[in-house]
Structure formats: C-alpha cells, structure tokens
Amino acid sequence: MTDAQQRAFDREWRRWGLDYAAEALDLDATFGADTPRVLEIGFGMGQSLADMAAASPETGFIGIEVHRPGVGRLLHLLAEQGLGNVRVFCHDAVEVLRDCIAAEALDAVQIFFPDPWHKKRHHKRRLIQPDFVDLVASRLRPGGRLHLATDWEPYAEQMLEVLSDNPLLQNTAENGGFVPRPESRPLTRFEQRGTRLGHGVRDLVFTRRQGMAS
C-alpha cells in the first residue's frame, strides 16, 4: 500500500468499512428501508464504484475487495467526494455473501473483469463457477440483476454457460448471448487499455426469475 492508501484505510475505515461477522447485515439500518442495494465483487482500485455511487446517490452500494491497496484507494475517493452511499468489505466474497447477506436482499450484483486465470490448469480458480452462481442468485430479489463483464473471450463463454444453466436466472439478451455495455457501467482505464489492444469486452446481464424459490 502507498502511504496515502494506508492513511485513508486507517482514517476512513470506521466510517465506510464493514467488518466481517458471521451474521446477516441489517441493510435497512445501513442504507434505509426503501434504498436499492447493489453489491460489487472485486472493485479493484475503486474508481468505477465511486463513479457509480456518485451518479446514483439514491442507491446503496456494497463493495467487496481483498486487495488492501484498492480498498485504501476507494476509501480515499469516498472521503474526497463525500459519498455516503457506499460501504466496504475487505474480506473473501464467498464468505461475505454466505454469512453477511440475507437471501433475496440485493437488487443487483455486479462483477467486472474478474481474474480469468488464463492457464487451463488454473480454470478451477475462476470465480464464476456453478456453486458460486447458485449463492449469488439466492441473494438476489426476484427481478434482481446479475451483471458480469470480461475482456477474455473463453471466460466470457464459460460465464454464459454457467449462468444459462442456473434455473433461477434468465438472460436479458434477446439472442441468448451477450448485451451491449449498459450505461450504468463506467468505462474503466483497464477496459480502455484492453480496447486499444484489440480485446473485445463482453457484458452479460441476467435477472432472477420471478416466483422461484432459492
């Protein structure tokens, strides 16, 4: 961590940070009873999450990231911009989803550019696997949205297969494939660099089916 990131972490965690505990977070108390709740897994250095929070002050955002420099950077951005509608976990995403988020508590989950683990022997480390998607889907309210994005085509195809096989989820793409980038997802420096290098970015947006128990 840089000195600035460490200072932000030490100074701002009390205001925006959420300490992991094996109990469901009271989202009504955190954001308000009628506030839409969006959870982002792996927000990197936090710029796009801060941008989304600034653009949608009526929405409560929960960010999960294990990379402490990224958490420190996001906390700095939140303090700098005075964004009160974001809370942050610095902890494993599976444990947070499993233990801290109640069933059907979220309006949206977004995962942008997760590590593709390029080598075949490492594919088992990829985040988007059937068991994980089962867990995510169970935390979405009926009609809630799961939005993924990647610039690695083989991973995009795996994501599409895993999400399409989940009985709780329905693809919003008319052709059953990918969708154009929604305006709600900011362009990141990472994505702009990938575009310059010729990496095509693919977005997937699925919704939780109505009337189906998790």
Q: Which residues are catalytic?
A: 115
CA distance 186 to 173: 20
Q: In b/e form, how buried is each residue of 8-36, taking b as 16+ CB within 10 angstroms?
A: bbeebbeebebeeeeeebebeeebeeeeb
Phi, psi of 109 (to 5 degrees): -125, 135
Question: What residues have CB less than 8 Å from 59, skipping those under 6 apart?
Answer: 35, 36, 37, 38, 53, 85
Task: Look up residue 66 and give its amino acid.
Answer: V
CA distance 63 to 71: 9
> Three-state DSSP class for 14?
helix
